[in-house]
């Protein structure tokens, strides 16, 4: 693996790989290129008028001891250990997520009883190719109609019948996070409700600076070992000779030679004609002049008449996210690039505030500011043919794909770190849901 190495994309995967390869002296020289003006990728933080906001509810939790040890080492003791507090908003109420017995008992009989009947009925769905098939088979028709169908349509912009079943395998696991909590079927959820000992999920989070602190720590280590990080450099694709990669080409026409290229930028940049696409996200950051009683770290919203699909309360990750006595909230709207909300996010600020007020998340009179950020390629779209499209891709020798965007993989940060650690040793890392 010695020689000149190029890493494209300075997200968690690219930064981890670069840092480990330099530490192992696996490269004679290493250059990391990033299209943005900062490292971090989808794990960046934004400072707005003394408030700190992340891109969504980022935090570290993993079943891989090697990953946890690595995260603690990079953060160098500057981290907090916090308990999980996540919610789902249903029928005008906030419920714990994953569901607890008290939350289930608060559901109205018209929702609860049909779900119990779905559990008792014999499962007649034998062919499972779509997300809708999978959810009906695992959770029943009632919960599919009540929550999963509309939330999925709002989040992905695609009908549940047109999504691959891997979206369920990945999406449910990503929402649950902790492998000790089994929520892959209605029966598993009910068993967990009556378990004598509920699993308590603990997260690691930087004590200051937001999740950006992890990326910044990796960048400092990379530079200290002689690696170069070139910001505001967007890769257009790779250059090849025969069937072997020889480097990359930037959008400004510059070419950078390399013996090996590790690509964690969006896969659609390399292969724009393969039928693959990403979801993009518009973030609305609100500073609040008074502390609110939002007890959750993040919450899912499935109702069609609520414009956002998820909110995050930064101070419930670390107190320093807001000035003393104040509060904040972030709302997320997922969308395609050509949508109205992507092209003109400011036009929807009033609607976001109205919906936040309607669900009891803010007092409109206490909003000090609202600002927006547009984040590209946040989630891959798993349509019914995505596996076929991925298998049609033939990469040249010397090109290695990694990370959420580079491998078109709906993963969490710990998966990206684990994959990068394995690649730095010359090993492979299998996806945990895709066979």
Return the pLDDT at 435.
43
Does 222 lie in the same domain as 296?
A: no
Tell me how far apart the alpha carbons of residues 309 and 302 are, in angstroms, rounded to a whole number: 6
- Closest-CA residue to 323 (of 371, 368, 284, 373): 368
Kindly report the CA angle at 329 between 339 and 177, in degrees rounded to 5?
A: 85
Tell me how crowded residue 159 is: count the other CB atoms within 10 A of its CB: 13
Tell me how far apart the alpha carbons of residues 279 and 281 are, in angstroms, rounded to a whole number: 7
Q: Output DSSP code: residue 78.
A: -
Does 239 lie in the same domain as 192?
A: no
CB-based contacts of 113-117 (< 8 A; 24+ apart in sequence):
114/140, 114/141, 114/142, 115/139, 115/140, 115/142, 115/143, 115/186, 117/142
267 inside domain: yes
Tell me how far apart the alpha carbons of residues 118 and 104 are, in angstroms, rounded to a whole number: 15
Query: CATH code at 107?
Result: 1.10.3110
Does 394 lie in the same domain as 255?
A: yes
Number of domains in the chain: 3
Does 283 lie in the same domain as 370?
A: yes
Does 301 lie in the same domain as 218?
A: no
Tell me how far apart the alpha carbons of residues 216 and 371 are, in angstroms, rounded to a whole number: 24
87 inside domain: no
What is the H or E stretch that residue 65 is in? Answer: helix 65-75
Query: CATH code at 351?
Result: 3.90.660.20
Kindly report the CA angle at 402 between 247 and 382, in degrees rounded to 5?
A: 120
- The partner residues of 83 in beta bridges, in order of sequence, read 202
For 340, the 3-state DSSP assignment is: helix
Distances (CA, A) of 274 to 41, 107, 159, 266, 363: 23, 44, 21, 13, 46
Does 265 lie in the same domain as 141?
A: no
The domain of 394 spans 4-82+207-275+387-424
CA 107 to chain CA centroid, Å, is: 29
Check: CB of residue 362 under 8 Å from CB of residue 285.
no
347, two tokens:
């036009």
| Domain edge (last residue) among 345, 361, 380 | 380
For 318, the 3-state DSSP assignment is: coil
Tell me how far apart the alpha carbons of residues 170 and 192 are, in angstroms, rounded to a whole number: 20
114 inside domain: yes
Q: Output DSSP code: residue 315.
A: G
255 inside domain: yes
CA 267 to chain CA centroid, Å, is: 16
Check: CB of residue 52 under 8 Å from CB of residue 407.
no
Residuewise pLDDT in 10s, the chain (435 residues): 567 999 999 999 999 999 999 999 888 899 999 999 999 999 999 999 999 999 999 999 888 899 999 999 999 999 999 998 999 998 888 988 776 666 666 777 777 777 767 766 655 555 678 989 888 887 788 888 888 889 899 999 999 999 998 888 776 655 555 455 555 555 555 555 555 555 578 999 999 999 999 999 999 999 999 999 999 999 999 999 999 999 999 999 999 999 999 999 999 999 999 999 999 999 999 999 999 989 999 999 988 899 999 999 999 999 999 999 999 999 999 999 889 999 999 999 999 999 999 999 999 999 999 999 999 999 999 999 999 999 999 999 999 999 999 999 998 899 999 999 999 999 988 776 544
User: Among all chains, which residue has been given the structure tokens 């509810």?
Assistant: 57
Return the pLDDT at 429.
83
Check: CB of residue 170 under 8 Å from CB of residue 433.
yes
430 inside domain: no
Annotate 423-435 with DSSP letters as a single string: HHTT-----SS--
Largest CA distance in the chain: 66
Check: CB of residue 153 under 8 Å from CB of residue 144.
no
With both helix axes pointing from N to C terminus, report the angle between 413-424 and 65-75 in degrees, rounded to the nearest 10: 90
Check: CB of residue 378 under 8 Å from CB of residue 410.
no
């Amino acid at each position: 693996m010695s020689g000149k190495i190029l890493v494209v994309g300075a997200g968690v995967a690219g930064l981890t790989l670069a840092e480990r390869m330099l530490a192992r002296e696996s490269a004679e020289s290493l250059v990391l290129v990033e299209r943005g003006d900062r490292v971090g990728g989808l794990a960046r933080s934004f400072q707005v008028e003394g408030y700190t906001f992340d891109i969504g509810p980022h935090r570290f939790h993993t079943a891989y001891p090697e990953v946890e040890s690595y995260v603690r080492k990079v953060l160098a003791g500057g981290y907090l250990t916090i308990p999980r507090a996540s919610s789902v908003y249903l029928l005008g109420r906030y419920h714990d997520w994953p569901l607890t017995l008290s939350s289930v008992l608060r559901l109205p009989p018209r929702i609860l009883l049909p779900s119990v009947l779905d559990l008792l009925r014999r499962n007649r769905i034998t062919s499972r190719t779509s997300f809708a098939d999978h959810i009906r088979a695992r959770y029943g028709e009632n919960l599919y109609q009540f929550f999963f169908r509309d939330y999925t349509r709002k989040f992905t912009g695609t009908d549940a019948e047109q999504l691959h079943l891997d979206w369920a395998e990945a999406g449910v696991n990503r929402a649950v996070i902790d492998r000790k909590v089994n929520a892959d079927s209605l029966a598993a959820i009910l068993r967990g409700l009556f378990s004598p000992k509920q699993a308590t999920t603990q997260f690691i989070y930087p004590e200051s600076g937001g999740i950006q602190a992890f990326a910044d720590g990796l960048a400092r280590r990379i530079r200290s070992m002689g690696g170069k990080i070139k910001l505001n450099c967007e890769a257009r694709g790779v250059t090849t000779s025969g069937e072997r990669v020889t480097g990359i080409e930037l959008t400004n026409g510059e070419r950078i030679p390399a013996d090996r290229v590790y690509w964690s930028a969006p896969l659609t940049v390399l292969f724009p004609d393969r039928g693959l696409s990403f979801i993009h996200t518009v973030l609305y950051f609100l500073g609040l002049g008074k502390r609110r009683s939002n007890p959750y770290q993040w919450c899912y919203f499935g109702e069609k008449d609520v414009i956002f699909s998820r909110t995050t309360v930064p101070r419930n990750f670390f107190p320093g996210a807001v000035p003393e006595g104040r509060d904040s909230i972030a709302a997320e709207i997922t969308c395609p690039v050509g949508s109205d909300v992507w092209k003109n996010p400011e036009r929807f600020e009033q609607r976001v505030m109205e919906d936040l007020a309607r669900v009891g998340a803010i007092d409109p009179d206490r909003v000090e500011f609202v600002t927006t950020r547009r984040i590209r390629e946040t989630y891959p779209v798993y349509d019914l043919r995505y596996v076929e499209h991925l298998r049609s891709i033939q990469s040249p020798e010397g090109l290695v794909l990694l990370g959420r965007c580079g491998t078109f993989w709906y993963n969490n940060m710990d998966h990206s770190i684990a994959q990068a650690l394995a690649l730095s040793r010359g090993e492979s890392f299998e996806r945990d849901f895709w066979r």
